[in-house]
């Protein structure tokens, strides 16, 4: 049996000492307290009945003062507060002040757990053991992130395990969005004592199916509402990426990043080459491509991002073979986020650890099939620190 392994860890390490130091400064402490309290006072804004199920906002924290909020509507990370270079708690994840903001958003994926299949499947069509399946089309002419009613649209069953851990579960029924098998999914979000925001995925099925789970947090390491992410420094440990057609489906080839705007083997700002005369950038409207990672065993970071204003550094570790780097190309200032801030063009980025897009139709890619009796698991790590 081929063991599929996946998940997400967000780790925050030395930054916690900056937060503790800041608590000794009255003005900064007051700001930190206000921000922390605000994450709790908004809980009532996430109480609603959707599709006959109750939504909630869960607040988890650790002993060092790191705070995250998660809603069971879509399994979403609503906020993640980490210290910047001055010790100020900074919300590095875009989200809304209430559940209705997520419901009405023109961007469906803010902070969401994505499934059953993250990224795209060409024309929504795939075969398993020679049998044809058709998932719903929601990114014409293709299926994107699980279809019209993917995991971002459902209300998960949620419960607090302890003050730093929340568990979300969902049963995706046989043929939901065209995918075979009753799929039992579990996601555990937790904040650990070493300041890690950890997300673990598990899934089992009673029929052979395809699975590719990920999380779609939209990050701005300078803080939500702080402006463009084009001056963030990015490094990705990938010698190859997957070129795509005009519909953002991989062509099936691996292309070298060397000599192209996709070469992030050394730190470069997101904006330095994003407007180059390059057909891949034109098709993607910027960066919206899967990178073929050189390593994916959690031993070394596969990507690093640094906020130019905050000094917040995020290192990404994963057991996944691919990383989808998205530069906020389709943000159009149509949504009022937390505190009424608009989601302006390219004011956030995503780094989704995952298997490759369209893998069910491209046998040369690592398989995303899950069989009855096997357990799908995954983990990735987003490790936060600061650069002075």
Catalytic residue ranges: 216, 352
Contact 196, 10 (CB under 8 A): yes
Contact 385, 19 (CB under 8 A): no
Q: What is the rounded distance in angstroms from the CA atom of residue 139 to the CA atom of residue 84?
A: 37
Q: What is the rounded distance in angstroms from the CA atom of residue 331 to the CA atom of residue 345?
A: 5
Q: 384 has which bridge partners?
A: 12, 314
Q: 338: Cβ–Cβ under 8 A, 6 or more apart, which residues?
A: 79, 91, 94, 95, 96, 97, 224, 225
Q: Which residue has the tokens 């070394």?
A: 300
Q: Which residue has the tokens 């409207």?
A: 285
Contact 297, 6 (CB under 8 A): no
Q: What is the rounded distance in angstroms from the CA atom of residue 144 to the CA atom of residue 117?
A: 8
């Amino acid at each position: 049996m081929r063991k599929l392994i996946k998940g997400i860890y967000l780790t925050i390490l030395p930054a916690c000492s900056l937060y503790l130091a800041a608590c000794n400064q009255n003005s900064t402490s007051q700001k930190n307290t206000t921000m922390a309290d605000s994450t709790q006072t908004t809980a009532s804004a996430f109480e609603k009945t959707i599709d006959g199920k109750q939504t909630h906002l869960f607040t988890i924290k650790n002993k060092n003062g790191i705070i995250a909020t998660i809603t069971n509507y879509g399994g979403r990370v609503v906020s993640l507060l980490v210290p910047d270079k001055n010790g100020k708690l900074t919300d590095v994840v875009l989200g809304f002040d209430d559940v209705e903001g997520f419901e009405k958003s023109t961007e469906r994926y803010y902070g969401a757990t994505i499934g059953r299949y993250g990224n795209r499947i060409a024309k929504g069509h795939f075969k398993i053991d020679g049998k044809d399946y058709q998932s719903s089309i929601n990114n014409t002419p293709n299926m994107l992130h699980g279809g019209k009613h993917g995991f971002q649209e459902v209300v998960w069953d949620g419960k607090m395990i302890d003050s730093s851990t929340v568990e979300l579960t969902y049963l995706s029924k046989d043929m939901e969005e065209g995918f075979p098998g009753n799929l039992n999914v579990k996601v555990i979000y937790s904040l650990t004592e070493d300041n890690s925001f950890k997300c673990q995925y598990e899934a089992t099925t009673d029929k052979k199916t395809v699975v590719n789970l990920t999380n779609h947090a939209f990050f701005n390491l300078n803080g939500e509402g702080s402006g463009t992410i084009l001056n963030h420094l990015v490094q990705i440990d990938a010698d190859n990426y997957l070129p795509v057609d005009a519909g953002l489906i991989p062509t099936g080839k691996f292309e070298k990043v060397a000599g192209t705007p996709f070469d992030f083997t050394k730190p470069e700002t997101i904006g330095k080459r994003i407007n180059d005369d390059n057909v891949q950038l034109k098709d993607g409207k910027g960066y919206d491509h899967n990178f073929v990672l050189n390593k994916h065993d959690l031993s070394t970071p596969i990507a690093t991002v640094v906020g130019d204003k905050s000094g917040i550094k995020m290192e990404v570790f994963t057991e996944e073979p691919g990383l989808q780097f998205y530069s906020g190309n389709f943000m159009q200032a149509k949504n009022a986020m937390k505190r009424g801030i608009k989601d302006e063009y390219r004011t956030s980025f995503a780094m989704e650890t995952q298997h490759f897009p369209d893998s069910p139709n491209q046998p040369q890619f690592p398989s995303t099939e899950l069989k009855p009796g096997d357990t799908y698991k995954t983990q990735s790590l987003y490790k936060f620190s600061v650069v002075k």
